A and B are shown apart, each in its own frame.
Chain A
């Protein structure tokens, strides 16, 4: 198998195949950086055009876009607190405060280096460990996947800090949104008000753009003459080789977050946003100064960005070997593979080794190219957007949002829906309700529901089916720890204070 891997290399280095990766990475960064445009969308737009292309050109474009977009999402997350993609939500936590402190340039550099490291680690996992790792996916049946989703939701509610009650309310709103659409088992309409457009549920991008992009834009336009915005003169740009030494302490975070990202990537359905949250939480928990997190800790950006890129290639492990995509992007890419006659399954690696392994190499190169292309592109062009007068900047963002949301399905209905979510987001923002639980609530809520109901069907109504094996029990224990842990910790601290006082 490893000789097949090397055998595929010369083909990848061909001019058109390599150029495809470069173009893909640049396109991906641009797409990821625009609120409302996501990698999923860019690749689904691309798929029909790839019919006429050579397989490796088509796949190279897709690999590049995927890698580029996962990083690109960090650019507006850092500069404007608007995550460009769902997976960049956790990047706003420390990235935006850094930008406010005049360290936006450094934040972007941390993001690009971390993204590249995560992407490289993930590409190696895909290249070297795909068959054994796909066995891990098989351990996760409906009851285990249900617990993964519950664990993810519990973490986001209780570990994010702030008020857990408000977190819970936010998450409930997200879960409610996930309920809209066809019932996952029976297909009956729920809260669709007879609209066929709502039958497939609410697309995550519509919610994300509404919640995250509209409120900051309103703020931006509310106070056109306020000058506390992040100016590019305050970006703190310096060449990347000068910035590198300041990141040398991050290796632990990089390593841990890569493992998180790869791990969550191979689990069906959770995807980059959950990977980023989990790894952010874990990095903060083990940090020496957790209280500084959220106020502009570069390591927080590193944790989130490493993890959301580390899940890219690994999400393709179950997709290529089992036909079940780990993320929405992987699902679209699966379509792109099918177009070129690449049927997912154990036979894929034997039947089309050159294309499959070539595709994996392209992932690796895409990740490496991020450092070369991403750093300068972000700091030299996107950051300059912030020099625009505020009314103009706000209008540009609004136009991008409208185009992005409209182009998901090509219908105005989604745009109105997005504006509705925007109003909700603005109110939540003002009342200090956290927004990330809403996003994860939508992603994981539907997932939890569907798998809970499948598990109960398998158990024929017996709830014991949820606790039947070790994998489930481990996940239950982790969930309990996440919920109870902070309470115990607070009690202990209080006791100590009492004892001291």
Chain B
């Protein structure tokens, strides 16, 4: 009997030691970061820019290897990350609201509980833009026109079920105005159609119009405070419209990480927020940074899921 107790204690001590050793050792081999888009895209650039800083904060010669698994709007990559072994050696990038919207508008092999939420790093707020010379150069005029002639204002934006789309839904719900959606494949063609006057209005993200402020009327930005990217640009709140929305990108790991590994990763990601060098590098690649870690990130995801679900139930987009 005594022997049995001895062995169990010994075993549990050993197990504890092993656990501690695991966290101390972590990472003892390269960590793979799965990016659901091809190299050179916004999400990929974020991952590759952040990687050396995460390596620095994890310490001990940690190394992050970015692996691109493009396809199906990021769904292939995020599914891979969600179903990987939760040992801390596979992380993934995560896009909002896209990744949650995909669990609603198609069948997905993951849901919001499939992940350990590490950190959201980028928050690229929406902006509303109109063509030069179209006369709709303030948000009030735009809303007035859309109310007077329901559906007459055409809105160029990137695909349905993305942040641009949800922004428009919020605007329609807030004002009761009605617009005609013209969903391009990506923001750049939508922006070009705007510049050529083929659509009247556009919903884009601030990073996408920062270089085009002379070519387009930018009516406002959907944030609480003015964005560093265009400090002269008023928020919609300032103009009396309660509109806050944007596109977000961050990092997740599969659900069920060992607690100490999770803590170590969260700690490393949290330090990004105050790293001047990192902020500088992100600014150079047009990524507005807003670091949200752990539980808060999880809540953010949940909120966006509820928003997408609500929109889907009222006006399904396919």
Seen from chain A, the residues whose Cβ lies within 8 Å of a Cβ on chain B are 44, 47-48, 51, 137-142, 182-189, 196-197, 199-200, 268, 318, 322-324, 332, 334-336, 338-339, 341, 343-348, 409, 450, 454, 457-458, 460
Contacts and interface: CB of A to CB of B under 8 A. Distances in A.
B2 interface: no
A338 B185 contact: no
Given A188-B318, A346-B212, A47 B40 contact: yes
B160 interface: yes
B158 to A, nearest CB: 11
Contacts of B75: 196, 199
Nearest to B285: A341
A457 B154 CA distance: 8
B318 A186 contact: yes
20 contacts: A44-B39, A141-B198, A182-B73, A187-B73, A187-B161, A187-B317, A200-B70, A318-B192, A324-B192, A334-B40, A335-B44, A338-B286, A339-B45, A339-B48, A343-B210, A346-B211, A450-B185, A454-B184, A458-B198, A458-B199
Contact of B38 (A142, A183, A187, A335): A335
Interface stretch (B175-183, B244-252, B271-279): B175-183
Contacts of B41: 335, 338
Contacts of B196: 137-141
A137 B191 CA distance: 12
Contacts of A344: 188, 211
A286 B16 CA distance: 84
Contacts of A184: 185
Contacts of A345: 211-212
Interface string B285-308: 110000000000000000000000
B194 to A, nearest CB: 10
B39 A335 contact: yes
B69 to A, nearest CB: 8
A19 B25 CA distance: 43
B40 A335 contact: yes
Contacts of B215: 346
B154 A458 contact: yes
B278 to A, nearest CB: 14
A338 B39 contact: no
Interface size for chain B: under 10, 10 to 19, 20 to 34, or 35 or more residues? 35 or more
B48 A51 contact: yes
A186 B317 contact: yes
Interface in B190-225: 191-193, 195-199, 208, 210-212, 214-215
Nearest to A336: B40
Nearest to A49: B39
Given A185-B183, A186-B317, A339-B40, A142 B193 contact: yes
Given A196-B71, A322-B192, A346-B211, A44 B183 contact: no
A232 to B, nearest CB: 39
Interface in B92-123: 105-106
Nearest to A469: B198
Contact of B182 (A199, A332, A338, A454): A454
Interface in B30-75: 38-42, 44-45, 48, 66, 68, 70-73, 75
A196 B77 CA distance: 11
Contacts of A140: 196
Contacts of A137: 192, 196
A187 B39 CA distance: 23
A323 B187 CA distance: 9
Given A186-B160, A187-B160, 8 more contacts: A48-B48, A142-B193, A187-B105, A332-B38, A332-B40, A338-B45, A454-B184, A457-B154
A44 B193 contact: no
